[in-house]
Chain A
Amino acid sequence: MRDSIPSGALSGNILVIGGGMAGLSAALEASEAGYDVYLIEKNPYLGGRVAQMYQYFPKLCPPYCGLEIIFRRIRTNPKIKYLTMSEVVDVSGEPGAFDVDVRINPRYVDLEKCTACGECVKVCPVDRENDFNYGMDKTKAIYLPHDLAFPMKYVIDDSVCKKLECAKCVEACSYDAIDLNMKPKTIRIKAESIVIATGWKPYDATKLDDLGFGKYPNVITNVMMERLAAFNGPTKGRILRPSDGKEPKTVAFVQCAGSRDENHLPYCSAVCCLASMKQATYLREQIPDSKVYIFYIDIRTPGGKFEDFYTKVSQDENIVFVKGKVAKVEEGEDGNLIVVAENALTGEKTRTEVEMVVLATGMQPELSDVKLPIKELKLDEYDFATFDTPGIYAAGVARGPADVASVVEQGTAAALKGIQTAKR
């Protein structure tokens, strides 16, 4: 059902906070079982973090494939209503009868009128850092978030837009879709149960002092690597190192960068081993004479498919697994880097020169930043949601680190819990 600014008395059986894979699954599965659902997303588009991934492990298939099916199910289903650019600002009431206040932040582009023709972009004079590509390129202040953006509507970044001072886009739009005076609007939605699916963010790599991120341009993070490999990324899908745009022939992956580390994220983020192996395949396919080193503490690939993937990747003799924690990344010559590690098996200290370093940074719950106004919600010491409150359920990485399939399972399970409350 169309994303538009609603008015009047709004109510649904289930309200889902977060439009990533967990929230989408919870919302769709409940609505397809016959329940009315509201889905609240803070970004201008649905899809969450997976929209920024190039491929999934271990299948090496594109996330757009599943998202397209998901978006089609939403389009054709009148029982699911979604709001983008929206945040939950207040929750009152009790299970079976919650009142949820949602603030809809201004998009400055009318969802009913924008046709996504793109004429506005041609005249916009202001650049902004493209957060979709983790700041590795720029878009105009008015932009389409990405190629499979859902809804397929433009949005204005009001932190950089000069608004009425400029207003060139207003003139360029033949459809009168741009309203620079748009204001935030708060609406109230009645819901019987709530699903929290607020997801994760990559751990801030600048906090990892010894690993050189932010200091050396050729030290990047795993989420940036996904964007480098994708056609709609900053390099049109070519993996090039930031300092000089050269193809990196030697790349080191630093596992547990911040994870399993008492000073950062003491837990294991559960997906980084597989993510790095996946990214090693990107490199090996795109740059056939490349060599990859993966420095790890333990390789964690539980189950059938994941272990098979590890087996397959480790058969490539140009992907070298080194058991050992990286102590430090130092600057080398010509933008190269020296990875200092201790091999846990031989005890030997190693210095490996590479052309690019990828930090396998972990997942941190968004709940560590976003304080949801839900008094029943309890967070653990790492800000993951604990989940034994009736009428309120957490799914996905809001609950703990997990891979995509597990997150979808949790979203599906949360849908049933939500239905149970709604049925009472």
Chain B
Amino acid sequence: MSEEVEKKYTLYICTGCEIGKSLDIERLKEVADEEFSVPAKTHEFLCSAEGVELIKNDIENEGVNTVIIAACSPRVNFDTFNFPNVIVERINLREHVVWSHKPNDEDTQMLAEDYIRMGIVKAQKTEFPEPYKEEVVKSVLVVGGGVTGLTAALEAAKAGYDVYLVEKEAELGGWVRKFPWLTPDKPPFRDLRKPDIDEKIKQVMEHKRIKVYTSSYVEQISGQPGLFDVVISKNGTKEEIKIGSIVVAAGWEPYDATKLEHLGYGKYPDVITNVQMEEMAANGKIIVPSTGKEAKKVVFIQCAGQRDPEHLPYCSGICCMVSLKQALYVRESNPDAQAFIIYKDIRTPGEYENFYKRVQEDPGIFLTKGEIKGISKSKGGILVEVSDTLLGEDIEIEADLVVLAVGMVPRLYEYQKRYEQARELEGEGQQQQTTVASDKLWEALEGYQGILNLQYRQGPDLPPLKYGFADSNFICFPYESGRTAIYAAGPIRQPMGVVESENDATGAALKAVQALELISIGSATFPRVGDLSYPEFFLQRCTQCKRCTEECPFGAIDEDEKGTPLPNPTRCRRCGVCMGACPERIISFKNYSVDMIGSMIKSIYVPEDEEEGLRFLAFVCENDAYPAFDMAALNRLEWHPNVRIIPLRCLGSFNVVWIADALSRGIDGAILIGCKYGEDYQCHFLRGSELANRRMENVKETLERLALEPERVKVIQLPISDYDKIPEIIQEFVEEVEEVGPNPYKGF
């Protein structure tokens, strides 16, 4: 529906599910008719075929194009009340009014009337979104040519997409190509297997949809998803390509063993790493480096520099399996040789347990839990002293070869370090939990060699999480990377083995091709798939304050040299954080804007006489807090009737001007209810609730300057499953505001 078409409204009130029995429906109709000239109809079972037919008939025969439905929560009956090319606004009378408040009560009635007003105003301010569409390049860039990158490239190509694969080394295959054997990946999970990496490389090289760049790196990526411009550098020559989405499979490096002098590395030539052990096995024989003779007694030290706060605090997940495998190398190379594995815990999850058992069956392999007390040179080789063993006593093993099971360090480790430096540059009090200021980041990035070299204001690579892994912070959504259409896979995302990397690569490849399809129809990607709206900037009024560019959680907005924002709609997730950040209120969506919410607030009836009760707003996150209110209602929990709920796409889209709107209207207080922020944040838009909280801290200061009490505003973090706490949270807030008294601006 284009803007020129005049809106024709009808309000449909369902009287089923206790609505009709609990409210004065005639008075609701009067509100619509007298205050807004919107005709209203009622039906006792609006979601029935007959009820839906009533609406359809009005659309087809009466020209109704804006349907306002006052019935149940918009979370139910979504497609029952979904009509093509018609604006549908849902008013939640069932859950948020009659199931959660006293029936036939004046306060409940006033609540329902306000929701009718707010719903009609919202419909008035809603336009049909026109999708942002560009000619999308449906090809994928894969960075990294190890097993993860090869798999991602092959799987995307098999699904019919063009792929460009960039590898910095002269040959494809990564670490796996250096390994003579791999741990089992199939039942019965007992036998070593030959890597099929050469076959995979061959398939990639021969695939007509895959173009391979070896000895190459990505010099620069500019633009936005669906329309990225990539500069690939190969031996000093540059090639420019266009791609649509990216899989980052830049992999890992072994932890620097020279830092493990306490375990003898660098001190004794016969102390080697697990990676060196693979190289040795690839050459055929397991030998003692200092003598060149066959190794007879090999000690494996697990968690070498891992699970250790001085080195890598984490577990690399695969070293137990690798050492079990390498113990078999020792036995294979020389059947008279012995292998000892000293571990903290043996970690062979799932069916890998079978492999552990198979190694335990080998009479030449000894395993014990233990702490390494010392490693020293002895006349027969290297003396390993172990305490806290399962044998109930300290033991000493004289080995001729010691293998350190060192861990995996993600290739974004350096970026993470720079991130930390940038955080330090920010200084006390300025630090945010989940990001850093861009200017400080770029300062700290001096001389950094990036993996992607994105021309994004907020930094050149995927924002790393702890220890430099480009992992998701979400358990249910492991491919959330913080940058739209760019997905990490393999050990750069989490420490993992070959099978897990191949699987992860396939999943990331799906996400990469899915992003292309969604962007090509103008849709948002996760989590607002199907949303065709996008933020529009009225730049004539922009004051170049840079808040939107700084606060966008996805780095979607760049800026020109003056500081004017340069939005990139296909990088955008449609959370509205920019809209909330903008002090000039120049950022709007067709169906979501500062003006829309402001107008809804202004439509609320606020009694001048405080005896009729104070009025409160609850701005709630529509993803978690809003369903929590629905579930509280389902359990017939009651909350204070003078609170008007306004759902937001994300709490981060909260614009502080709404507080001014509310207070000038005479509303007495506002509570924001959103997701957990900070470490382990649950906000689906990463930083939205954190930003809302910061804005509200500033609001409190402003209120104090205006001689208003800061208690009038409050931010609450509410997990979706804590719906039982809602009545108490609301009551507590209402009482806090009642304590400070009515809004002095009431009635002005």
Contact = CB atoms under 8 A, between A and B. Distances in A.
Contact of B682 (A61, A76, A299): A61
Interface in A343-371: 344-347
B475 A270 contact: no
A304 B477 contact: no
Contact of A115 (B17, B369, B504, B623): B17
A65 B345 contact: no
Interface string A12-32: 000000000100000001101
Nearest to B527: A69
Contact of B72 (A29, A60, A115, A411): A115
Interface string A50-80: 0000101001111111111110110111100
Given A66-B475, A304-B314, A236 B510 contact: no
Contact of B467 (A68, A117, A304, A380): A304
A402 B478 CA distance: 14
Contacts of A65: 476, 623-624, 675, 682, 719-721
B217 interface: no
A61 B680 contact: yes
Interface stretch (A179-187, A204-212, A381-389): A381-389
Nearest to B523: A32
A33 B517 contact: yes
B388 interface: yes
A302 B80 contact: no
Given A66-B474, A266-B354, A59 B349 contact: no
Interface in A66-103: 66-70, 72-73, 75-78
A237 interface: yes
Interface stretch (B43-51, B195-203, B272-280, B557-565): B43-51
Contacts of A236: 724
Interface stretch (B152-160, B174-182, B248-256, B651-659): B152-160
B74 to A, nearest CB: 10
A81 B643 CA distance: 37
Nearest to B724: A231
Interface stretch (B141-149, B627-635, B689-697): B627-635
B478 A112 contact: no
Contacts of A72: 75, 623
B444 to A, nearest CB: 22
Given A29-B514, A175-B45, A267-B353, A298 B724 contact: no
B350 A402 contact: yes
Interface in A207-223: none
A301 B313 CA distance: 12
A148 to B, nearest CB: 7
B369 A66 contact: no
A158 interface: no
A298 B510 contact: no
Contacts of B307: 307
B187 A415 contact: no
A78 B82 CA distance: 11
A215 B627 CA distance: 40
Interface string B500-520: 100110110111011001100
A4 B511 CA distance: 29
A64 B45 contact: no
Contacts of A70: 476
A76 B530 contact: yes
Interface stretch (A125-133, A162-170, A333-341, A416-424): A416-424
Contacts of A305: 466, 471
Contact of A21 (B49, B76, B476): B476
Interface residues of A, number: 88
Interface in B493-548: 494-496, 500, 503-504, 506-507, 509-511, 513-514, 517-518, 526-527, 529-530
B346 interface: yes
A1 interface: yes
Nearest to A304: B314
Contacts of B475: 56, 59, 61, 66, 404-405
Contacts of B186: 386
Contact of B504 (A69, A346, A409): A409
B188 interface: yes
Given A59-B680, A298-B346, A304-B494, A267 B72 contact: no
B315 interface: yes
Nearest to A344: B390
A409 B314 contact: no
A87 to B, nearest CB: 25
A308 B314 contact: yes
A409 to B, nearest CB: 5
A266 B354 CA distance: 8
A345 B230 CA distance: 57
Contact of A300 (B18, B347, B473): B347
A243 interface: no
Contacts of A402: 350
Nearest to B516: A33
Given A298-B345, A409-B478, A112 B49 contact: yes
Interface string A224-260: 0000001100001100000000000000000000001
A25 to B, nearest CB: 9
Given A32-B518, A73-B529, A420-B155, A304 B476 contact: no
Given A2-B80, A307-B307, A345-B390, A416 B507 contact: yes
Interface centre among A67, A175, A347 (most CB of B within 10 A): A175
B507 to A, nearest CB: 4
Interface centre among B18, B345, B680 (most CB of A within 10 A): B345
A302 B347 contact: yes
B351 A409 contact: no
Contacts of A66: 474-477
Nearest to B493: A409
A311 B684 contact: no
A229 to B, nearest CB: 10
A346 B392 contact: yes
A260 B353 CA distance: 8
B476 A68 contact: no
Contact of B513 (A64, A266, A323, A416): A416
A4 to B, nearest CB: 10
B16 A117 contact: yes
A406 interface: yes
A343 to B, nearest CB: 10
Contacts of B228: none
Interface in A262-317: 266-270, 298-308, 311
Contacts of B156: 416
Nearest to B675: A65
Given A76-B530, A405-B475, A298 B347 contact: yes
A406 B493 CA distance: 12
B135 interface: no
A68 B49 contact: no
A318 B259 CA distance: 35
Contacts of B635: 147
A21 B476 CA distance: 8
A67 to B, nearest CB: 8
B720 A381 contact: no
Nearest to A77: B530
B34 interface: no
> Closest 7 A-B residue pairs measured CB to CB?
A66-B476, A302-B317, A412-B507, A413-B506, A380-B187, A62-B721, A416-B510
Interface of B: 16-18, 45, 47-49, 72, 75-76, 78-80, 155-156, 158-160, 186-188, 307, 313-318, 345-354, 357, 369, 388, 390, 392, 466-467, 469, 471-479, 494-496, 500, 503-504, 506-507, 509-511, 513-514, 517-518, 526-527, 529-530, 623-624, 627, 631, 634-635, 675-676, 680, 682, 684, 719-724
15 contacts: A32-B526, A56-B476, A59-B475, A65-B720, A68-B720, A76-B529, A148-B631, A237-B724, A302-B349, A304-B315, A382-B351, A386-B187, A411-B507, A412-B507, A420-B155
Given A65-B682, A409-B504, 4 more contacts: A65-B476, A301-B315, A384-B351, A415-B510
